[in-house]
Amino acid sequence: MVEAIETTELKDMEYTFSQMIKDYSWMRKEIDRLQSNIHGYLIPMNSWGVAQYGIDAAMPKGSSGKSKEEMDRMDARERRCFKRLTRYETEVYLVETAVDLLDNEVDKVIYDCLLDGMSFREIALHLGISKDGVQKAKKNIVAQIVQDEQVETFLLYGEIDNKDK
């Protein structure tokens, strides 16, 4: 019985992560739109989690998020958009960094092509393999990524460990 629950839970996590891969393209666009609306400018994704060195590392910094006072001043729509922005940023960050969990170079190429929105047929033509081979590879890629502890935690609880970020 416990094994059946775990199998069902694993299949649900694999489905959810597959959907995150599928939704990646529009989420990136929506993040840009929400950042422009909320902050008035775009925050480049490549600056997330970048360590600082020298004097910059020692200087005090403000919070990267909104303060409690700023959150209180936001109206309901802004608050809802900010929560959605935070969730999308986390999902996109997770999807983008998941490629590091893959060992095989072909799997990494297939994963990148999926994130670029290429169809199975386009990827198959690009790599010179069958469409069925691409579909099997995607299943293996998703299964491999879902086994990671951080990905599993996000898929189960909607949270990600920010220590590594």
**Which tens digits make up the pLDDT trace of 20-67?**
999 999 999 999 999 888 877 767 665 555 455 555 555 555 555 566
**Predicted pLDDT at 6:** 74
User: H or E element: which one contains 127?
Assistant: helix 120-127
Closest C-alpha among 20, 64, 30, 4 to residue 154: 20
Using alpha carbons only, what angle is made at residue 14 by residues 9 and 3, rounded to the nearest 5 degrees? 30
pTM (2 d.p.): 0.73
